[in-house]
A = this chain, B = another copy of it.
Amino acid sequence: VVGQQRGNEEPGRDRVTIRQVAQAAGVSVATVSRVFAGSAAVSSDLTGRVLRAAEALGYTPNVLAQSLAIGRSKVVGILVPNLANPHFYILIKRILHEAERDGYRVIVADSDENVAAEKALGVSLLQRTDGLILGAPRARRSDLRELVDRGKPVVVVNRAVDDPALSTVVIDSFDAMRQLAVHVADLGHRNVVYLHGAAGSWQEKERARAARGLRRRGVQVTEIRCGATLEDGHRVTGQVLDTGCTAVLAPNDLAAIGVISGLTERGLRVPEDMSVTGFDDIPFSRFVSPPLTTAFTPQEDTGAAAWQVMAGLLDGKRPGTRLTIAAEPVFRASTAAPRAS
């Protein structure tokens, strides 16, 4: 019986295999494998011959075959709702670098804020990776459960979920938001609006809860559905003004900048006519005018922590880690006392 002749076509041109190197060096494939893995002791004589042969032939191991043989791909997946949000690309960027240091590659997927797509994307990602990092997932708990049930490490970022099979690292937005709210109240504002960000996001719920706390201080808090983008903030400016408020707490910097833009267009000034706070402290926030009062959410630290946890899981550690990183309010020029009226 003769085997088929495959892979000799143009695309994906046949690369040099371990067998050819072995033959050229006059050793067995096992020896070549050992030399490249540095796994077992090989006499320097053979090592030299192998290396020379490999060099001459331009051999590099086929990673796919290696992966299949050892049962790990050295690739992890990361799924985020929207790559275009600075929030996430800072996180991703850090994870990329941390993973690379440990010899891992990262497949990135973006669900485009589409909750329904999250699970399918997660499954697909898990098929070709050793583990999955979920950024701010809004999928149902049962869906998350199904993902982790596939037996591979899953770490959830920016959403608290009490499943013991899941490891999580979250930023505590509540306290920073509370401080921002108190700051505004202390400034003397009595009528503020809270803008709701991405519906269904856990972080969003935390922030809203913190903002509502203001009511206990006798401050009127109007809640307006907004969204998490520049356009969203810009769009709701009219509604905000209709409430007669003197301060607005935005769900993130993007929305805050959108609102400020809308205000400016109407000839209003920040903070003289309206105080505005953001959230996240994206790099822009320092450079817009006025510089934004916001909360710094350490996405880089979060990324580093997420990888740490993932690395542990990949290493066989038990899941269930719970990490919380605190956001910090940062006070800049977009908030001030309301006009004496």
A interface with B by C-beta (< 8 Å): 6-7, 10-13, 15, 60, 62-65, 67-68, 71-73, 75, 83-84, 86, 89-90, 92-93, 96-97, 100, 105-110, 112, 124-125, 127-128, 130, 151-152, 230, 234, 257-258, 260-261, 264, 283-284, 286-289, 291, 314, 316
A124 vs B13: C-alpha distance when bound (angstroms): 17
User: Which residues of chain B come closer than 8 Å to A291, judged between CB atoms?
Assistant: 261
A288 vs B285: C-alpha distance when bound (angstroms): 11
Report whether B12 and A71 are in contact in the complex, using a CB–CB cutoff of 8 Å: yes
A203 vs B6: C-alpha distance when bound (angstroms): 42
Query: Which of A7, A12, A65 has most B Cβ within 10 Å?
Result: A12
Report whether A128 and B151 are in contact in the complex, using a CB–CB cutoff of 8 Å: no
Report whether B96 and A83 are in contact in the complex, using a CB–CB cutoff of 8 Å: yes
Report whether B84 and A12 are in contact in the complex, using a CB–CB cutoff of 8 Å: no
A73 vs B129: C-alpha distance when bound (angstroms): 12
Identical copies in the complex: 2
Nearest to A264 among chain B residues (CB) is: B289
Report whether A63 and B12 are in contact in the complex, using a CB–CB cutoff of 8 Å: no
A67 vs B284: C-alpha distance when bound (angstroms): 43
A38 to chain B: closest CB distance in Å? 18
Report whether B84 and A151 are in contact in the complex, using a CB–CB cutoff of 8 Å: no
Report whether B261 and A289 are in contact in the complex, using a CB–CB cutoff of 8 Å: yes
Nearest to A314 among chain B residues (CB) is: B11
A279 to chain B: closest CB distance in Å? 16
A97 vs B112: C-alpha distance when bound (angstroms): 9
Report whether A108 and B110 are in contact in the complex, using a CB–CB cutoff of 8 Å: no
A273 vs B272: C-alpha distance when bound (angstroms): 23
In the complex where A84-B93, A107-B105 touch, is A257 in contact with B288 (Cβ < 8 A)?
yes
Query: Which of A86, A97, A288, A291 has most B Cβ within 10 Å?
Result: A288
User: Which residues of chain B come closer than 8 Å to A13, judged between CB atoms?
Assistant: 151-152
Nearest to A60 among chain B residues (CB) is: B127
Report whether B314 and A287 are in contact in the complex, using a CB–CB cutoff of 8 Å: no
Within 8 Å by CB of A96, from B86, B110, B258, B316, lies B110
User: Which residues of chain B come closer than 8 Å to A127, judged between CB atoms?
Assistant: 60, 63
